[in-house]
Amino acid sequence: MKKSQVSRPLGAAHTALFHQIYEALRDRIQQGELRPGDRLVEDRLAEDFGVSRNPVREAIRMLSADGLIDVNARRGVYIAVPDPAKIQELVEIRAVLEGHNARLAARRGNPKLLAAAGRILARGQAALNAEKFDSLGKLNVDFHKALARASENESLSEMLGAMRLKSSLGFAMNDPVVQAQSWQEHAGILQAILDGEEDTAETLSRSHVLRAGDRARERLEAAAPPKS
C-alpha cells in the first residue's frame, strides 16, 4: 500500500490534507520516530500539522486499516505493539511470499530490472565494507523493493512492502548488525535469479527472510529479556 490510495492526477493542485498527514505519520513510523506503544492524540497532531482534527482522524483510520496503529474506542490510539507471536506469523508469511517473488523474478528474467537490483547490491556491499551501517537499512529496503519489481507482479510488490513495514514495528529492521549479517545473503539470491534457477532462488529467499527474523528476535530478546 503505497501512496496509491488517492490518485493524484499529476498536476492536480495539492493533495488532500488527510493524505499528506497519512503519509507523514506512516513515514514517521517507518523511520522509527514514532515507536510502538506511543500515543497519538488527535488534538496534538492537529495542532502540530496546523489543521483541524478531521483530516487527522481520517489519516488515523487509514493507518488503522493498515494495521499500523491500534484504536481503543474512546481511550486513545497507539502505535501498534505487535506481540512476538504475530510477528513470527508475519515473518513466515513474508518468507513464503518473498520466496514466490524470487521465483517469479527468476522466471521473468527481466535484464533491466535485475541490473537495477544488482547496482543496489553493489552499493550495499560497498557500504558494508566501508562499515557505513547506518545507510544499510535503507539500502536493504531498496534491494527488496527492486527484487519485488523484478517479479513484475505489482500486487505482490505492494503486499510485500506493507508487510515489511508492519514487521518493522516488531523489531528494529534497521539494526546494523542484523542488516550486515543478512546482507551477505542477498548476493546469493540475486545470482540464483540471474541464473534462472527458480527453485534455488525461492529457497534462498525464503530462508533469508526466516533467518533475518530469527536474528532480529534474538537481538530483541537479548535487549529485553522475558520478565518471567
Phi, psi (degrees; rounded to nearest 5) at 84:
-50, -35
Selected binder of DNA within 25, 34, 55, 170 (CB under 7 A): 55
Selected binder of DNA within 25, 29, 34, 40 (CB under 7 A): 40
Cα 187 to Cα 190: distance, rounded to the nearest angstrom? 5
What does the block give as the cell for 151? 517479479
- 17, interface contact from its own copies, DNA, none, CB < 5-8 Å by kind: DNA
149-168 burial, b for 16+ CB within 10 Å, e for fewer? bbbebeebbebbbebbbbbb
Stretch that binds DNA, among 26-34, 49-57, 120-128, 210-218 (CB under 7 A): 49-57
Task: Supply the minimum distance, in Å, between the C-beta of residue 144 and DNA.
Answer: 31
In the complex with DNA, the residue whose CB is nearer, 75 or 112, is: 75
Q: Is 175 within 8 Å of 60 (Cβ atoms)?
A: no
Q: What is the DSSP letter of 105?
A: H
Q: Kind and range of the H or E element at 130?
A: none
Using CB under 8 A as the criterion, which residues of the chain lie in contact with its own copies when the complex forms?
A: 1, 5-9, 12-13, 15-16, 18-19, 54, 57-59, 61-62, 64-67, 70-74, 86, 89-90, 92-93, 96-97, 100, 153-156, 159
Selected binder of DNA within 4, 7, 10, 12 (CB under 7 A): 12
